[in-house]
Structures are given as C-alpha cells and as structure tokens.
C-alpha cells in the first residue's frame, strides 16, 4: 500500500482513526472498509442521514483520500467507482509502523523507555508479554 504520509497529521488527543485522519475522512473510511465498490453518491447518501453535508464536500474528501492512497478511484462510464486501497488492519499497521519509525529515528531511547514504563504501569502482566515478544524476536533474528 503506497500511502502519502506527508499528508497525514497525528493528534494524540483525538480518538481512534481521528488521531490520523480528519473527522469526515475517518467517517468515510469506516464506511469504505465495509463495502467493496461504491460511488460518491453511495457515501453521500449514508452521510446525509447522519449530518448536514454537501455532495461536493463528500466528492472532494473522497478524491483527497484517493490522492493520499487510502482509496482507489477507477473511471467506469461517467462516474468514478471507489474502494479501499487496503483493509483497516493493513492501514493501521502501516500507519503505526510509520509513526513508530519516525519517533525511533529521532528519540529511540526515550521512546523505548516511555513505552516500557507505560506498559508496566498500565498492566504489569503485559511487561512479561513484552519480554516474551522481545525474546521471540531475538531468536528469530539469530536464526
């Protein structure tokens, strides 16, 4: 999946996908991940039941999501058909990898220290789980 991460922002104070995407982008992607092929009109019809929104706003945001690599846009007759470029899980894994790599590039020691502290403080049993994951990765790298 080729995402344009330069067009994403990270806001730790928001919930879920909204940490990475805008509110409308996140709402559109949640719908997109449930369906295969859809038109702007399909998404618009769902959204207009939830909020007051213009068709052109939905069209613009969907086009931008395609530019960012989250949606695939194909011309069929006189309309564009969209679908998600990757599953929700694939998107989350790719995004988390990019965020974590970015933090580790500049702040490796404090990031790892904070992560261990947070995991241990949140749920001490998870420290053991983390240690087991680290050991498994060491063994895999030694092979």
Domain extent for 68:
5-86
| CATH of residue 65 | 1.10.10.10
Same domain, 133 and 101: yes
pLDDT band for position 102 (cuts 50, 70, 90):
confident
Per-residue pLDDT at 123: 84
Total structural domains within the chain: 2
Residues 122, 97 share a domain: yes
Of residues 119 and 43, more confidence is placed in 43
- Tell me, yes or no, whether 72 and 119 share the same domain: no
Q: What is the pLDDT of residue 5?
A: 61
Q: How confident is the model at residue 125 (pLDDT cuts 50, 70, 90)?
A: confident
Q: How far is CA 42 from CA 47, 106, 135, 143, in A?
A: 9, 43, 48, 50
Phi-psi region of 86 (alpha: psi -120 to 50; beta: other; left: phi over 0): beta
Domain limit, last residue, from 67, 86, 105: 86
d(CA 29, CA 70): 8
Residues 127 and 61 in one domain: no
One domain, residues 14 and 72? yes
Q: Other C-beta atoms within 10 Å of 109: how many?
A: 8
Pick the last residue of a domain from 49, 66, 86. Answer: 86
pLDDT given at position 34 = 92
Out of 58, 86, 114, a domain closes at 86
19-27 average pLDDT score: 92
- What whole-number percentage of the chain has pLDDT above 70? 95
pLDDT digits (tens, 9 = 90+) for 55-84: 999 999 999 999 999 999 999 888 899 999
């Amino acid at each position: 999946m080729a995402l344009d991460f330069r067009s994403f922002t990270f806001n730790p104070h928001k919930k879920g996908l909204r940490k990475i995407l805008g509110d409308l982008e996140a709402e559109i992607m949640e719908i997109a991940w449930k369906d295969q092929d859809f038109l702007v009109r399909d998404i618009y019809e769902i959204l207009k039941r939830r909020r007051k929104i213009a068709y052109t706003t939905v069209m613009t945001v969907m086009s931008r999501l395609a530019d960012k690599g989250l949606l695939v846009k194909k011309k069929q007759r006189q309309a564009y058909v969209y679908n998600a470029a990757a599953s929700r899980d694939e998107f989350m894994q790719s995004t988390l990898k990019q965020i974590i790599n970015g933090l580790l590039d500049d702040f490796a020691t404090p990031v790892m220290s904070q992560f261990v502290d947070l995991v241990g403080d949140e749920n001490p049993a998870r420290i053991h789980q983390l240690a087991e994951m680290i050991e498994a990765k060491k063994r895999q790298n030694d092979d």
